Structure 1
Amino acid sequence: MASTSTVRWPRVLTPSHMVQLIKQQKNPLSALHLFNAATLLYPSSVYSHTSSVYSAIIDSLSSSPTATHHLPSLLRRMSLSSSPARDASFSRAILSLSRSGHHHLSLSLLRLLPSSNCPRWPLSLHAALKSLLARDEFLTAHRLLDKMPHRTPLTLPSLNLLMDSLCRIDRPDLALQIFAEIGHHCCYPDRDSYRILMRGLCNAGMLNDAIHLLYSMLWRVSQKGCEADVTVYRTLLESLCRDGRVRDAEEVLGKVLLKGLRSPGRRRAFRKPDLEGLDAEEMRRRISEALVVGGVRSLKSYAAMVVDLYGEGRIYDADKMFDEMVGKGFQPTVPMYEAKVEGLCREGKVGDATRVVEVEMKERGCVPRVRTYELVMEAFCKEGKSRRAVEWLERMERQVGCVARKETFEILVDGLLMEGLFSEAASVLERMARRKYWPGEEMYSRVIEGLCTVGRRYEALLWLEEMASQGKVPGVRIWRLLVPSVCLDHDQAEIISCLDHITDEWVENPNSIAE
């Protein structure tokens, strides 16, 4: 662990300098040590921690599951400081504690907020609700909202999250009650609100309520055309057709096209689409075409429908609408191409996905993003072609403005490890470390275990040392695998020296040593 004597402290310490010192530490506990030492080395009249410094140390501690137990005490100190606490800092801490299994500590942080110096906390409340609802703890979430003070800010994302969770457990009737109360929270329902509730009502067979919901939505789009709302309409129309209510589907589609999607000058020549006598697949195709082509054409409406179709695996219908959109003069966007690439990769057509990136996007002047390359790399890894994925990493980094992220390297390392290419996985992990991206304990352990199995024990020992420098501890399995193999190839003095060095890295963190 870094000591204060090894750090070059400036004569005058500023918050920005302190933030840089924290970010330079690989070990979160070293960063916490410097954070605590700063207030001892400098008088309060010269330096005090600001909200940006607290945010930096919270990010550092949140990156390691073994260091998250320091977050509650740190946030209590932040809530008593003179500078206002940031809601984003509390929300990140709540999510980190939940991911590491400290659920009771995350809830205690939320209960601390009303008496803290944080003026508003919608992000923190959303993080706590997301954690509880992900574990289906609806009663706990209900009690939490009941006990919070009346000025608790319930935002639209939190309300949408509650509705989505209730629809997942087939309780759209309760989701309807929340939808009716959105206005009481000074919010306005957005497209996600209607989409979540429409899908929940249709899945539960409450089609009459879904029809009423759609009619209440029509007035919002009567002046501007449908744009991306076509996906909400399509959910109801296809559900009516599956239920055998074709006449109702025709009636609803006619009203949607006439009221919501048609410009006033074209209403006189309007004819209601006929769905009677068609099979299920043809009805779905006719509905999709009518919603986009029969209404006011726009890039948003095409994009919403194309992305939805690719997401459902309907590649043929999506390609047909995609080509029609291009023929009408609309320029495809990067998210549309990413949806196409993801859909093709999901169907196992990685070759077609690569042609989309290499040929189609280039011909239409559309520049791929990092996420575009990650989709292709992930598909190659799933097919057992991780070396091809590494080649795509090289291609991506040659493109100006495309910089590999931590998630990019993790996709490649995981794919190489799955194929048993441990040496190449270690090489990618080394490139990742040079970028200051630190993987988790599990990935380090897998690389060390793989290097031991192929006889590269010295390199495995170096990664163990790097792991220790970051305050991460391998499991008992790694120790059992590594120590006997090292003992066979090294003398006793060298082994003791190496283990003493690794132990010194953890001496300041005895609670994290594996039992």
Structure 2
Amino acid sequence: PPPASGIHSSREAEGVGCHADDMLTVKPPQLRLPPLLRSSSSSSPAAVPWFSPPPPDPPDPILAAVSDAILAAAPGETLDSSSHRLRRVLPSFTPSHFVSLLAGNPFSLPAPSLLSFFRWLSLQPPQLFRHTLETYLSMAHFLCRHRMAPDAAQLLRTVVSRKGKNSAHHLFSAVLRTSADAPRHCSPHPSFFEAMVAAYADSEYVSDAIQCVRLMRKSRFRIPLGACALLLDLLMKSNSPAAAWAFYSEILGYGFPPNVYTFNVLMHSFCKEGKVKEAHLMFDEITKKGAKPTVVSFNTLINGYCKSGDLDASFELKKLMQEAGVFPDVFTYSALINGLSRERRLEDANEMFKEMCSRGLVPNNVMFTTLIDGHCKDGKVNAALDIYQEMLRKGVMPDLVTYNALVNGLCKFGDLQKAMLVVEEMKKKGLKPDKITYTTLIDGCCREGDLETASEIRREMMKETVELDDVAYTALISGLCREGRVIDAERILHEMIGAGMVPDEALYTMVIDGLCKKGDVRFAFNLLKEMQKKGHKPGVVTYNAIMNGLCKLGQMKNANMLLNAMLNVGVIPDDVTYNILLDGHSKHGDAETLKELCHEKGMVSDFATYSSLINESIKKSKAQQSR
């Protein structure tokens, strides 16, 4: 054997430090690489690899045949050219084959080609092939992964429309199953969830869309912010601010970025519904979420409080606004002035107007019109005209609303001449009187008894093709009745009916009363029947008008019959009914008979009744004494 020193040196050369006593029993060190893992230069030529990978599974012959047929079609064209090859395989092709084709894509088929194949399959007879929920979702997954999200969205809209309402939980479970079948068990692409929520939102299945978002959150998927924004917008347009706020506050907790514009829109919706306290709570949330209220935020809430009549809260907000460094603008002052004008606090409104002008803000048309209308409604027409002149001096053009406010104020004040001059000035400025202008003038003329001018205005309306509304007809009929022109009033009433409008009970009663006062009780009864045919239920005032006409004509028997008719239809006579009958029986009948009648019907006498009975007794006593 070689010397011990030679073995030692060779061991040391190999990196093994062992003693001479152990040289015959040396074990390989643990960090020494096996011979098969050394470089090929130091290996034996006849060395066999320590691991051989198994041979790949042969491709599915059906998938191979389908892939060859798809690849044979020209790029960008339909599969018509390969349809004969595909149809040969189709009887053996199942939805599972299609899902496998997408999952592995063993032949690296382009995404557009696979989408064309999906659509080609959709056109086949159901007995040969029918798509399933899994094929739709797998195709949508595949398209999203290959940046074809719009096509995926179209497929998901089809799925949602077929599944319908309350399908979110079932569909989401199917999504998780199909994503598990995808390569490397990858999660659904973010654009897939965007499209899924949007599909439910587009179908107006709001509760399903919200449930999808919650299921994503529960499964720890990233929330689709774009779809959430779309859903939030849909909720805000649905006139349900409470539901919109509930969803918004929920997604804010999921990391959705706060937006002051969204807060402002929701506040406006709450104020529109009169829920100003809820709007204020939302206003407080703006700062809590790290955002800053804008001038629109303050104006929205100030306007809400002004419309609800809480001016103190409005002015508190104005003070808070200035402390926060947000300067009031024209809309702030416009809301405050409008609120003050509604409460008839015109002096305060004028002071607020002066404050605004002193800050260099230019009042607009709306603000001037608000002040003019407020002064007109308060009977201060001259002050309204002064504001109108100031409006013109500042170069602010009045509109139709401004002129109508002036005309209304002047007509109520009884100054028809000035009202007509305002209308003429309005025409010179290129503004045409509308239905409100004409109706206001007709009403003013009728109130003043100037029926000729009212008729002229009506003719002008017809010439300008402005249709009369129920307010104009009511003004004409009441004016004619006041002047005793009842036949003309009845004619206008039937003209109103011919125009497609339905007179109310008060209008019918007005004409009936006018006819009865003229002694035309028969026509009054005809109107009563017409009124009942049109679905109106005459009240005690209508019956009293006819009863008064009968009693004045001395038709006491008919008056008693009318009383019975009243009671039969459930109309309870009042004191006026009793006094009308008493007066009629006193003049044309027997007071004792009336007394018995009233006792039978359960009517109660009042002071006027007793006075009438006493007077009638005195008359009868004097008549007996004279005999």
Give the number of the structure whose alpha-carbon radius of gyration is greater: 2
Fold-level similarity (TM above 0.5): no
- Normalising by the smaller structure, the TM-score range is 0.3 to 0.5
Higher RCO, 1 vs 2 (CA within 8 Å, ≥6 residues apart) = 1
- TM-score scaled by length of structure 2: 0.38
- TM-score scaled by length of structure 1: 0.45
